[in-house]
Amino acid sequence: MRKFDDFLDEQLQDEEFKKEYEDMQPEFDVIRAIIDARISQNLTQKELAQRTGINQADISKLEHGTRNPSINLLKRLAEGMDMALKIEFVPKRNIKKKDFL
């Protein structure tokens, strides 16, 4: 993982790359939250699909970032994991570099 972190640090020196990367951060955060929540429940994608009625292939697409979820879909995922969905806005000044890694 260190090699990737070093590579990313180098790429983030490019202002254009950094802006694009930061613009994509909310999508990365949603993907990471879905995966972390599912894993914390010791669920496979197939098991989550059975609990939510969402096709396993669609869950895979969400986790790979090839499909953007609606709020209703996120609510169904949360319910299937016996969790609550929380979305929040935070001031930009509270975001640190580590939040992008």
- Separation of alpha carbons 52 and 34, rounded Å: 13
Domain ranges of the chain: 38-101
Per residue of the chain (101 residues), give pLDDT as tens: 578 889 999 999 999 999 999 999 999 999 999 999 999 999 999 999 999 999 999 999 999 999 999 999 999 999 999 999 999 998 877 666 555 55
Q: 38-101 — its CATH code?
A: 1.10.260
Burial code (b: 16+ CB inside 10 Å, e: under 16) for 1-29 equals eeeeeeeeeeeeeeeeeeeeeeeeeeeee
Predicted pLDDT at 93: 76
Distance in angstroms (rounded) separating the CA atoms of residues 9 and 39? 28
